[in-house]
Structure 1
Amino acid sequence: METTKQINYNRAKTWQIGCFAFNNTATNVIMLLMGYVSYYATGVVGLSVVLVSSLLTSMRMFDAITDPIIGFVIDKTDGKFGKFRPMILIGYTIMAISILTMYNTLHLFPQNLKMIGFIAFYALYIIGYTFQTACTKAGQACLTNDPAQRPLFTRFDSIYNLLIFATGAQYASGYIAPKYGGFTFQAMQEFSLTFVSIAGLFTALAIIGIWSKDKTEFFGTGKKGPKVKFRDYVSVLKGNRPLQMLVVSAATDKLAMQTSGNNSTVMVMLYGIVIGNFGLYGKMSMITMIPTFFIILIGTKYASKFGSKKALVRFTWLSIISYTCVFLVLFLGDPTKISLENFGVMTALWITLMCLSKGFGTISGGIVIPMIADCADYETYLTGRYVPGMMGTLFSFVDKMISSFGATIVGLAVAYIGYTASMPQVGDPYSTPLFWVTIGLYLGMPIFGWICSLIAMKFYELDDEKMKEIQEKIVEIKLAAQEEEKQFA
């Protein structure tokens, strides 16, 4: 233990935070892979675009429903192997089996069973995904409770995901698609095996990172708290105002991201049709990597010094400004002149703004995860209950219910401009309606989400000073419990 301003914080070693952050990276690797499932489902399996979009929306709602159940299981678990390690392993195993089986067998199903098979495999994937992602949000509460140290998770997480999404984009657009002539069955076979294996390595590192902290002594007050019941979900969500505001902030941002930069269809429309150079997509991810890395270092340093709330607000404003500038470049300039082979003013503006917007957006989105741990500590401060699983999955439940409409929004948007039988493909004809749909999805939705975040943060009270007060109170509870144990020993 280290003493900081008379508070004995439970601090983690830097390598432990760095390793545990790989848990989120592992699930993001899988999420990146599953971002191309619509191409497999429509182009290989033969399901319709609107049907697949609707199914993905429905399954994301199912994903939201599983969250409270799995969070409850996590909070009730405290066995020989800890609370989080078994859940992480169970989650990855379920995901790996369901994904590899789907990508290798679903196209062989009889036509009348293909939709049922897709739903079944996807539902299993969701259950596994929820087990593992719930531990990312909940596990930080026992890893460290130092407000100045928690933003380190965002630093590691953001850097890892920066590398993964950059190399993943290059892998998809610069290797897999050219090698197989699109996202064919053979392409998805290689894609799925590669990414599931990478996620497995990251999962193992995450388990190592949390190993020594996954013990009762680091859970909340360090002793068994009040018995948790499933109906407590209602009282927690109703009584924890910071959690409510964080949910609003993150859910609107997630909905925006589901219809923007994290959506493969929108990237095909932007780079493959509007700009007319899909290969640039993967290259831009690599170009923005280094500048984004430095912005992440600055942003997390700012969060450690001034608190996560101030960092989120500051970088959300910067994100809005940078995306507005991106719109002006696309609207006033000629997007087809954005090219590394013919470097000019448009290319220089595009690269500069992409570097800034990527970095600012990474901080404003990534800082939310350690803030969930702050909300969990606030619940312990209020009620004495240590329910990190409940906090994380309550957050995810509302988040996913709102953001589940992302796939439907994209599906309906592209169907509106004529894509009803297949998704937009690289090299499709450019049109004004397609330009405005692309702008609305890629830029308009994120700006809308960030505005909602700024409004929500007006009512979020867990700034750096409040978190110090919370940790002081939890330390007092722990010391009182230890004295009580000595008296009865």
Structure 2
Amino acid sequence: MSTKTMDSGHEYNTAKLWQIGFFTLNNTATNLYMFAIGFVSYYATGIAGLTVVVVSAILTSMRVFDGVTDPIVGYVIDKTESKFGKFRPLMILGNVILAATILLMYNVTHILPTNLQFIFFILIYAIYIIGYTFQTASTKAAQTVLTNHPKQRPLFTIFDGIYNTVLFVGGQIFVASYLVEKHGGEFNMGLFTELNSYAVIISGIFTLLAVMAIWKKDRKEFYGLANKTVNTRFRDYWPILKSNKPMQMLVIAASTDKLAFSLVRHPVVLVMLFGILMGDYALSGTISLITVGPIIIITFIGVAVARKLGLKKSLVLSTWIGLFSFIALAVFLLVIDPTTISIQSIGITTVIFIILYTLGMGFGGLPSSLVIPMIADISDYETHKTGRYIPGMLGTIFSFVDKLISSLAPAIVGVAVAMIGYGDEFPQIGDALTTPLLVVTLILAFGIPILGLIISLIAMKFYKLDSKKMEEIQKDIAEIKARAKEEAVI
């Protein structure tokens, strides 16, 4: 058993650095699919022939379905105990389902008769979501067995921040500057086939590395109080959420952050911001590349603050900086000519935009990575409060509400563009910039995200699991375990 004795006399379950780094890839594995599926709107409308409103409605309803499946999967996780562990089988199962469904979705839907396309698309998307839920729920729940050391849990954020920056920035560059150009400047079947092939292969490799990282930790001795088995029922979900105020506040903060960045990173919004407002879609990839280094540095700063002052403090400070950066960006783009932002002829407008965009994406996006180890804190709080070890239920309660709110992103985008005349297809690269399009672009890219960050800050005012409180909780859990061992010996 890997532990470290602390000055207070109790032990922490600690992990090796490589274990934290490799296990974090489980989240990256699912984010790869989230990135790839983000372009499904263009496939569904441009190739399969569904309308903008129908596709937006499907994506929103499927996101709600995604939230509904979370409590069920969480219940399954907490009830699972096999010779292969609690989490590893579900991580692998989830990734296999993701690979199979995304290949079917993109390669079969458009060749079916028109009257079957809608039904098939929904069915495959629903199965895809089940696989996604199995793997993402395991990421949140398994944090509790990986480590409970307050100096180690924030390290997940470093790896997650770096991986996600490389993924979303590198992915955007890959699509905008390579795939789009390679496939004739449009989103066609060749582009989707190539993109999805990379997603399936790389995600599979990442999942196997994550399984290897948690291999020695996925054992009963690391499950909560270990000695105490608590029977939980599906109907326990509501009482748990109702009585766990830290969970309530974190759900509100994280879900509004998630909605904010679901919009900022939405492929359609990126086309509107860079491909129409600025007149250069490839710029989205280039500027994202420039921000990689600074965003990684921002991640290290955020984690350093978390390790010294606690996860809550780091999340709040990051959100404030992200908020002010997005406000400044919106005002800035209103008072300048956005087409002057160019890498070919770098001027003051380009420099200012890059600085503000980097601060906004770096600090504003950091809370999404900080939230995952905070869910583990909430699980420990529940164990401390009630004696129940239910990381699956807690992680998926969190995901359920989080997804219900963030599911609004595709609906918001679809309704917003439909209101300004885009009823049959989404805005395309090179479309003429009109005043309504300008307004909607700024609202989607910055206005709604600003509101989300404000709500997040308000929620965190009532979140009480700071560094001092977590130290008390871990000490109490360690003492209970120690007493149980002594009683077992007697």
Q: TM-score of the superposition, structure 1-length normalised?
A: 0.98
The letter for the 2-side match of 1:409 is: I
Residues 1:177 and 2:185 aligned together? no
Aligned residue number for residue 409 of structure 2: 406
State the SS of the aligned residue for 1:9: strand
Residues 1:295 and 2:276 aligned together? no
Q: Which moved more, 1:207-216 or 1:355-364?
A: 355-364
State the Cα distance separating 1:224 from its structure 2 match: 3.6
Find the aligned partners of 2:226 and 2:304 in 1 and give their Cα distance.
29
Aligned residue number for residue 340 of structure 2: 337
- The correspondence of residues 235-246 of structure 1 with structure 2, limited to 5 A, is 235-246=239-250
The answer on whether the counterparts of 1:296 and 1:362 sit within 8 Å (CA) in structure 2 is no
Residues 1:309 and 2:312 aligned together? yes
Aligned residue number for residue 230 of structure 2: 226
Aligned residue number for residue 220 of structure 2: 216
Structure 2 alignment gaps of length 5 or more: none
- The correspondence of residues 8-407 of structure 1 with structure 2, limited to 5 A, is 8-181=11-184, 182-258=186-262, 260-407=263-410
The answer on whether the counterparts of 1:26 and 1:200 sit within 8 Å (CA) in structure 2 is yes
State the Cα distance separating 1:207 from its structure 2 match: 0.6
State the Cα distance separating 1:342 from its structure 2 match: 1.3
Aligned residue number for residue 4 of structure 1: 6
The answer on whether the counterparts of 1:106 and 1:117 sit within 8 Å (CA) in structure 2 is yes
State the Cα distance separating 1:5 from its structure 2 match: 3.0
The letter for the 2-side match of 1:2 is: K
State the Cα distance separating 1:251 from its structure 2 match: 1.2
Q: 1:466 aligns with which of 462, 466, 469?
A: 469
The answer on whether the counterparts of 1:275 and 1:336 sit within 8 Å (CA) in structure 2 is yes
Find the aligned partners of 1:467 and 1:148 in 2 and give their Cα distance.
11
Find the aligned partners of 1:433 and 1:110 in 2 and give their Cα distance.
36
State the Cα distance separating 1:461 from its structure 2 match: 0.6
Find the aligned partners of 1:353 and 1:274 in 2 and give their Cα distance.
17
Could you list the per-position Cα deviations for residues 17-59 of structure 1 after superposition, in whole angstroms to 9, with x for gaps in the alignment? 0000000001001000000001111101000110000011111
Q: Which moved more, 1:107-116 or 1:231-240?
A: 231-240
The letter for the 2-side match of 1:243 is: M
Could you list the per-position Cα deviations for residues 40-91 of structure 1 after superposition, in whole angstroms to 9, with x for gaps in the alignment? 1110100011000001111111111100000000000111011000000000
Aligned residue number for residue 441 of structure 2: 438
The answer on whether the counterparts of 2:264 and 2:449 sit within 8 Å (CA) in structure 1 is no
Find the aligned partners of 2:231 and 2:25 in 1 and give their Cα distance.
31
Could you list the per-position Cα deviations for residues 172-197 of structure 1 after superposition, in whole angstroms to 9, with x for gaps in the alignment? 11111111121111211111111111
Runs of 4+ in 1 over 4 A off after TM superposition: none
State the SS of the aligned residue for 1:21: helix
Could you list the per-position Cα deviations for residues 425-473 of structure 1 after superposition, in whole angstroms to 9, with x for gaps in the alignment? 0000001111111111111111111111111111111000000000011
Find the aligned partners of 1:148 and 1:459 in 2 and give their Cα distance.
23
Find the aligned partners of 1:402 and 1:194 in 2 and give their Cα distance.
30
The letter for the 2-side match of 1:198 is: I
Find the aligned partners of 1:405 and 1:363 in 2 and give their Cα distance.
21
Find the aligned partners of 1:363 and 1:423 in 2 and give their Cα distance.
29
The answer on whether the counterparts of 2:257 and 2:367 sit within 8 Å (CA) in structure 1 is no
The letter for the 2-side match of 1:376 is: S
Q: Which moved more, 1:356-365 or 1:463-472?
A: 356-365
Aligned residue number for residue 447 of structure 1: 450
The answer on whether the counterparts of 1:300 and 1:363 sit within 8 Å (CA) in structure 2 is no
State the SS of the aligned residue for 1:288: helix
Q: Which moved more, 1:66-75 or 1:5-14?
A: 5-14
The answer on whether the counterparts of 1:237 and 1:394 sit within 8 Å (CA) in structure 2 is yes
The answer on whether the counterparts of 2:254 and 2:367 sit within 8 Å (CA) in structure 1 is no
Find the aligned partners of 1:250 and 1:117 in 2 and give their Cα distance.
32
Identity across the alignment (%): 53
May I ask how many residue pairs the two structures share in their alignment?
A: 486
The letter for the 2-side match of 1:265 is: V
Find the aligned partners of 1:208 and 1:301 in 2 and give their Cα distance.
27
The answer on whether the counterparts of 1:225 and 1:384 sit within 8 Å (CA) in structure 2 is no
State the Cα distance separating 1:255 from its structure 2 match: 1.8
State the Cα distance separating 1:231 from its structure 2 match: 1.2
State the Cα distance separating 1:366 from its structure 2 match: 1.4
The letter for the 2-side match of 1:151 is: P
Find the aligned partners of 1:393 and 1:325 in 2 and give their Cα distance.
35
The letter for the 1-side match of 2:238 is: V
Structure 1 alignment gaps of length 5 or more: none
The letter for the 1-side match of 2:465 is: L
Q: TM-score of the superposition, structure 2-length normalised?
A: 0.98
The letter for the 2-side match of 1:441 is: L
